[in-house]
Structure 1
């Protein structure tokens, strides 16, 4: 059976008037590549309407389902209304508030943005009038479908959409149109720095391909936008095959990069022994690296060289962490240990100077690089560059610490080394350890620790 880390699960939240069943065709098209599981929201599909119709209550409903189901590396997504709810859920996962771990990316289909959704007020009033006397009638449901598609749906899709609309709770329908769509949740969502695919139709007026970049500006810095021609708002029913191909390519390129946290360790991170803030830090560190990362302090040539140095300092088996890019991001944030050798400039300048000094003498043959790096570490490095041999060796000491620290701080590395010192408390009083003895692991500690860590002589 495929591992959830190889074939990740995409949990999808549906649009207004739809249900989890609206993603069935998408799931069939993605079979063997991504496991699609839709989630019915309160008042839609098989879920009865909730007494509390707020966005917070709906988010809590989704978090509860994910807590039962989500394992390994998983993706969260949403269509239209579901997109706004997905953003709030993802924010809680990355902040550690939700007892979840493993979120590796998002897939959004014509999403309602965290800000108030753009909607013509006359159309809003018309849609609200459809539930004045109870459930949506068939003629009104047909009008809604016509307004949200570029072309007539095939009979099967039309029947599914009509069934979902007719069984939608008037209370849930009204709650979204009157309140949920108008809520400005940008402060709660913040910036979600993880891989995101946004699919939108070119014939969708309010939430289409032309509008989405502006609507989502500042929310998803790593968003990849994909326009679907001759498509309206009902993407899962109009363009399941095309959407599936775009999702599969996105998952292969962006989501499956880097190591994953073993299941036993993931359960520990998601559990009540871990403080919310700590869980959030670990969840953000576990997000797959940006394959198209643009350096912020170094230039591209310097970052490439730092990656080659990183390969020698911290050799990685299997999917690797881009620790050089993480160091560049660290420099951009101004993070550091607050110490540097006398004579070295501030960290950003020292990195640029050290890399430029090495660059002029760096071999093209990978087999020779370890010798050059080892000599520089011993103080016998090249001369004539921005740093002399002594300062170059001092900078390399700092750089090696940064590279190793970035590797060790990843939750998958913590699992590999057996470090679970982050699991000492939570909402309950700090528990700590009963006995600190070499080779002694307590009952709550994960038993499996990964294999031998590869180390290079140059480290």
Structure 2
């Protein structure tokens, strides 16, 4: 699918990249990269078994093969790795991540495995590769209903060819590692999927252990499935991934790869990078206002759409203004003839709706919206019944609103990339700042992103 992010898939303990074959078949049109984690599948010879080493293994593949946005899907053991990579992305070390899908995922905290079952699985591998009976038992205990014969046979083969040392490394150490403090709360769009018949990693534990690490998380439950959902119900898994990719694309303004790499480079200080990453966080689809009412937020969104028309993947300027009002943030001044910022916004939006007539400002077509805003800008808006701001105050308020919207829009990394602004790259964290050697127009530096050079010329 054109402009869609690449979908990266990480498998479960004892599985391999091919455990996603049926899912990938149903994601026709999307570029998919299913990766064998060290010690499993075709990566049996790789001995990087620690959680951090597995994350490094996947990160290297992503850097080598993806030059643009991507979404990561992590199943069970792969889910813990996916969340670690999501944290790296939010901190600027792995740019381009647009969303996360966790399927029966191991959490950042120690995985809740029944002690007796853990001991039994450790015992299987302590003597070497698992026997066919042990592998069959492992697969059978993690499904809700029998699999097709060919699918079952492939799953058993994957378990048997798993490196015993990798199997033990996960059960004895990796699954017990606590990364929760290092992960914190991530703001990427996330979908957490649970099987209705899963035990240790079912819906309750997904909500308790994984959901708190994602500020924008939805939880979906697949009925009639247990732990091995990509094998049990690949169509349902593919549908959920497809839906989440669409949401991730729609809610996240695109930061081109060349600009994402610039942000991640050593020319940008860690403090500046953190600020830019915070600004690039996706807006919540179901944002609930804190200062404005739902109706006032809808009016402000309609107003912002005329002040700064945006394409798909728009920045929700209205929600960000409300969040700033709630946090008490502002530009440090206000017009003396206007009330405090939060009161001015509420009063201005109410007055705008009343001036628009029945249906309010959001109910007008674009032509009538623009005509009304031009009158407000000129200070000759008609006085309306029960208006809370006068025409003169409305002109001042509208000036403030435009300044707020433009400031937030211009400060977003996607906008910086669009207009070719790379002044953020004036120096990293060393004592000697790289700075700019060339300052003439149409004479870019060699390091400047290619897209910027083309615009300047």
Fold match by TM threshold 0.5: yes
CA contact (8 A) 2:98 2:252 kept: no
- Write the mapping of 1:6-405 to structure 2, written as runs, cut at 5 A: 6-32=3-29, 34-48=30-44, 53-96=49-92, 98=93, 100-362=94-356, 363=361, 364-366=363-365, 367-381=367-381, 383=383, 384-405=386-407
- Distance in 2 of aligned mates of 1:438 and 1:422: 18
Instruction: After TM superposition, give the deviation of residue 62 of structure 1 in Å.
Output: 2.0
Gap change, CA 1:14 and 1:410, over 3 Å in 2: same
CA contact (8 A) 1:255 1:288 kept: no
Instruction: After TM superposition, give the deviation of residue 427 of structure 1 in Å.
Output: 5.2
CA contact (8 A) 1:256 1:288 kept: no
Gap change, CA 1:398 and 1:166, over 3 Å in 2: same
Aligned residue for 1:422, secondary structure, equals: helix
- Distance in 1 of aligned mates of 2:157 and 2:5: 30
Q: Which moved more, 1:244-253 or 1:329-338?
A: 329-338
- Distance in 2 of aligned mates of 1:402 and 1:426: 29
CA contact (8 A) 2:130 2:160 kept: yes
Q: Which moved more, 1:134-143 or 1:373-382?
A: 373-382
- Distance in 1 of aligned mates of 2:63 and 2:428: 17
TM-score, normalised by the number of residues in structure 2: 0.90
Gap change, CA 1:335 and 1:157, over 3 Å in 2: farther
CA contact (8 A) 2:96 2:257 kept: no
Aligned residue for 1:361, secondary structure, equals: helix
- Distance in 2 of aligned mates of 1:345 and 1:123: 64
1:455 aligned partner: none
Gap change, CA 1:156 and 1:277, over 3 Å in 2: farther
More helix by share: 2
Q: Which moved more, 1:388-397 or 1:76-85?
A: 388-397
- Distance in 2 of aligned mates of 1:91 and 1:39: 19
Aligned residue for 1:193, secondary structure, equals: strand
Instruction: After TM superposition, give the deviation of residue 27 of structure 1 in Å.
Output: 0.7
Q: Which moved more, 1:344-353 or 1:298-307?
A: 344-353
CA contact (8 A) 2:4 2:249 kept: no
- Distance in 2 of aligned mates of 1:286 and 1:111: 26
Gap change, CA 1:435 and 1:219, over 3 Å in 2: same
Structure 2: runs of 5 or more not aligned: none
Aligned length: 446
Q: Which moved more, 1:121-130 or 1:332-341?
A: 332-341
- Distance in 2 of aligned mates of 1:257 and 1:217: 19
CA contact (8 A) 2:19 2:155 kept: yes
2:428 to 408, 426, 429: 426
- Distance in 2 of aligned mates of 1:104 and 1:146: 34
CA contact (8 A) 1:327 1:403 kept: yes
Instruction: After TM superposition, give the deviation of residue 194 of structure 1 in Å.
Output: 1.9
Cα offsets for 1:63-90 (capped at 9, x unmatched): 2222212222210120011111111110
2:441 aligned partner: 438
Instruction: After TM superposition, give the deviation of residue 365 of structure 1 in Å.
Output: 2.7
CA contact (8 A) 1:441 1:447 kept: no
Instruction: After TM superposition, give the deviation of residue 50 of structure 1 in Å.
Output: 5.8
Gap change, CA 1:53 and 1:319, over 3 Å in 2: closer
